[in-house]
Amino acid sequence: MARVRTIASAAGLACLLGQTAAADGYFLQGDAGARTQSVVASASRGSLNYGLNLSNYEDGHSGAISLTYGLPLGDVAVMKVGPTIGFQHEQDEGDDVQAGLKLSLERYTPTSFGSTYLLADVSSVHQSWFLLGQMTFAPGNFGVELSRGGSDSYHETTLAFQKRIADGPLSVRAGYKLTSEEVFAGFSINTF
C-alpha cells in the first residue's frame, strides 16, 4: 500500500508542475557498472510511443518492450498507456515472460535556469514501477537526476549527473546506485 501511495504522490506532483511532455523524438541511454549494465530506449511519433529496456545483472537479466498511446492531460501532463511484454531470467529460476499494461505520466517544465522533467511509470508486468526527477542547467549544459524503481525482484535508488556535449543531443553520465552500492558511467542521446 505504501508503494501505491508513493506512486500516486509522484504522479500528482508530476501533474502539478510545468507543462506537458509531448514531442517527436528518441531517447537512448546506456549505463555500465561493475555488476550491472542497462539500456533504455524510447521513440515517439505523434501519439505513439515505443519503449525498450534491458538490464544485465549478476544473477540474470531482464527487459521489456512497450507500445503506448499518449494522451495529453491539458497543459498538465501527458499520460501514456498501452501493452507491454517483459521477461526475466534468474540464474537458478529460469525464464519468466509476462504480458501486461503500462501507464506513465510525464511532465516537462522549462525554467529560468534550464528545465525540470518528472516521470512516474507503473507496469503490471512483474509489478514494476519507476519514479524520476531530473533538473538540467542550461548555462553549463549539465543535469542531475534522482530515480527510484522496483519490481517483484529488485529495488534501486540512483543518483546521476550528466554533461551534454556541446549543443548536441549526446550527454555523458556518471552516477551511484545507492541500494546496490555501485558506481556506473554511461551516455544518453536525447532528441526530444
> CB of 31 within 8 A of CB of 186?
yes
Residues in the chain: 192
Instruction: Summarize the confidence of residues 134-143 as an average pLDDT.
Output: 94
Q: Specify the pLDDT at position 72.
A: 95
pLDDT of residue 5: 46
**What pLDDT, on a 0 to 100 scale, did the predictor assign at position 9?**
45
Tell me what percent of the residues of the chain surpass a pLDDT of 90: 76
Domains and CATH numbers, the chain: 2-190 (2.40.160.40)
Q: What is the pTM of this model?
A: 0.84
CA distance 119 to 106: 5
CA distances, 169 to each of 20, 25, 27, 162 (Å): 20, 11, 9, 12
Looking at every residue in the chain, the average pLDDT score rounds to 89
Q: Is 8's pLDDT higher than 70?
A: no
pLDDT tens digits, one per residue of 166-180? 889 999 999 999 999
**Ranges 5-19, 29-43, 175-189: which has the least confidence:** 5-19
Question: Which triple of cell numbers denotes residue 4?
Answer: 501505491
Q: Beta strands 170-177 and 155-164: pairing type?
A: antiparallel
Q: In this predicted structure, what is the pLDDT of residue 46?
A: 94
Could you report the per-residue pLDDT of 55-108, keeping only the tens digit for each?
A: 998 888 999 999 999 999 998 899 999 999 999 998 888 889 999 999 999 999
Query: What burial letters (b/e) apply to 172-192, b meaning 16+ CB within 10 Å?
Result: ebebebeebebebebebebee
For residues 10-28, average pLDDT: 59
pLDDT band at 22 (very low <50, low <70, confident <90, very high): low
Three state DSSP letters for the chain: CHHHHHHHHHHHHHHHCCEECCCCEEEEEEEEECCCEEEEEEEEECCEEEEEEEEEECCEEEEEEEEEEEEEECCCEEEEEEEEEEEEEECCCEEEEEEEEEEEEEEEEECCCEEEEEEEEEECHHHEEEEEEEEEEHHHCEEEEEEEEECCCCEEEEEEEEEECCCCCEEEEEEEECCCCEEEEEEEEECC
